[in-house]
A and B are shown apart, each in its own frame.
Chain A
Amino acid sequence: MSIDIFLNLTVRGLTTGAIYALVGMGIVLILQTTNVMNFAQGDTGMFITYLAFFMITTAKVPYSLVLILAIAAGAVVGLLVERFMMRSVRSRSHLSLIMLTLGLSLLFQGLAAFLFNTEPRLFPPLVSGDPIKIGPVILGRQDIVVLLAAIVTFGILYLFLYRTKQGAAARSISQDEYAARVLGIPTPSIYMLIWAIGSAMAGLAALLIVPRFSLEPSFMGLVQVKAFTAIVLGGMGSVFGAAVGGLIIGVVENLVAYQFPAIKDSFMLIVIVIVLLVLPQGLFGKGQQRRL
């Protein structure tokens, strides 16, 4: 592998990894604060992408506005999910909560297929035009947008968690939910807020990645699997870990696919088994407590 190819693969891997990071950060945020492992994260994004697609093609809404509307729609979906599903079953077992999110994911897939049919569609990229050459690296414009969006999202999330009182409250809940309630933190509204943010991130991530695939009800499935792998690699516990894990998975996946195409598809499985065997806490985990 020449150095140029290596660089190109790495940078392109970073852009894919940025998507895994976005999905993974949303999952960790929800998991750590509300104790729900959301297996509907990918399909929430998928469903929102369908809504966005029809805003663009049928309602002819301008793209930039669609992006904002889609993120808002994600937030609304998250609010509704928390308010009408998760709230009443919060004290149930992890297993019940996981099953609930699986039901939700199936519901989104069914709705997408039923309302919009399963025929794959081409989703236009946010920006088009010739790829840009930076030194030896050739990068599509959409890829640059993806990278920037991931960086900005990470920044906003960081500021939210460490500079706002709602963010501090979310972190406190992840450490000791009982104490948070004793102190008078309005935990229900924090849960709603976190579901809104997490689901909005799902919408954003799906919208950014969909031009790579085609829009169909299953397109986020594999992305979600990789996001979960990233979370395990990052240590399950921290948003930061999920971000780094996502980037690493993106890059390594690209390099492996080039160098060892035979193990390309079982790569995720191998990563998970190895991480669980030799590094069960992940790269940044502090044990199994809920920590943001």
Chain B
Amino acid sequence: MLRVDQVVSGYGAIDVLNHVTISLDKGEIIAVLGANGAGKTTLLRTITGLIRVRKGAVTFGDKVLNGLSPAEVVKCGISHVPEGRHIFPDLTVEENLLLAAYIMPRSQQKSRLDAMYAMFSILADRRKQAGGTLSGGEQQMLALARGLMPNPRLMLLDEPSLGLAPKIIGTVFDTLAHLRESGVSILLVEQNAKRSLELADRAYILVTGQVALEGTAHELSGNEMVKQLYLGGTR
């Protein structure tokens, strides 16, 4: 469904991604792992149109995403939950959610909102509360809900477990497993390789802007290099 084909992109004079090729089928969860600065966030930004594709192509279904604005990419059915959550601190939970469905007509917004409140009951209780006053875990739930608001077919998640307590990380991954059931495809960027490989169907290892390794989650979990570098093995 999503194809990232030999993509080059970056900032200013620097290319961060060097001919990255990734694909994802409908209903799949794939994980993209890599060290800090490997280009994982850059990959997501390139898919969503936040930065320009310099070479190669990004296609979704039969649509070429190259050159589309983030707003147009969201319209195609891709949502992006950014690293660090980026909740609007002074807007209410409800406003945060509604803005994520900016392009939708009002009636549809309303039904999506109800669906989100049904799914995340903590948010329903705090709908009039300012986003900045939520706890870290609650903010991550809000970020996930914002990603789901536009009813996407594909969700890009950038380190959803970042800075959360283990128990809450559990909740986040449970939510993702639950999403798979409902048919949303997920591209998951994570530092937490162990849990991601447990959840994902397939995975890619990104090293300095290039795909160093790819395979099923099972294969990669057994790979010596992956074990050492990402699963806390000893050298």
Contact = CB atoms under 8 A, between A and B. Distances in A.
Q: Do chains A and B touch in the complex (CB under 8 A)?
A: yes
Interface in A164-190: 165, 168-169, 171-172, 175-176, 178-186, 188
A248 B212 CA distance: 64
B99 A182 contact: no
B69 A186 contact: yes
B98 A165 contact: yes
User: Looking at B88, B98, B100, B150, which has the most chain A CB atoms within 10 Å of its CB?
Assistant: B88
Contacts, number: 64
Interface in B111-158: 146, 150
Nearest to B106: A165
A291 interface: yes
B71 A172 contact: no
Given A168-B98, A182-B70, A183-B74, A175 B88 contact: yes
Contacts of A188: 69
A186 B71 contact: yes
B110 to A, nearest CB: 12
B61 interface: no
Given A169-B99, A183-B74, A186-B102, 16 more contacts: A168-B98, A171-B88, A172-B91, A172-B95, A175-B89, A175-B90, A176-B89, A178-B82, A178-B86, A181-B50, A181-B70, A182-B86, A183-B99, A183-B102, A183-B146, A184-B71
B90 A171 contact: yes
Contacts of B89: 175-176
A162 to B, nearest CB: 9
B86 A185 contact: no
Contacts of A165: 98-99, 102
B66 to A, nearest CB: 17
B19 interface: no
B162 to A, nearest CB: 15
A169 B71 CA distance: 13
Contacts of B70: 181-184
Contacts of A178: 82, 86
A181 B150 CA distance: 14
B80 to A, nearest CB: 5
A179 B91 CA distance: 13
B71 A168 contact: no
B103 A184 contact: yes
Contacts of A168: 91, 95, 98-99
Contacts of B48: 182
B150 A184 contact: yes
B75 interface: yes
A169 B95 CA distance: 9
Nearest to B103: A184
B73 interface: yes
Nearest to A188: B69
Given A172-B88, A176-B86, A182 B80 contact: yes
Nearest to A190: B102
B148 to A, nearest CB: 12
A176 B88 contact: yes
Contacts of B91: 168, 171-172, 175
Nearest to A183: B100
B102 A179 contact: no
A242 to B, nearest CB: 17
Interface in A98-130: none
A186 B74 CA distance: 10
B50 A182 contact: yes
Nearest to B143: A179
Nearest to B48: A182
A165 B91 CA distance: 12
User: Looking at A171, A172, A180, which has the most chain B CB atoms within 10 Å of its CB?
Assistant: A172
A287 B16 CA distance: 35
Contacts of B95: 168, 171-172
Contacts of B90: 171, 175, 291
Nearest to A181: B70
Contacts of A184: 70-71, 73-75, 79, 100, 102-103, 150
Nearest to A175: B88
A169 to B, nearest CB: 6
A180 B50 CA distance: 11
A176 B146 CA distance: 15
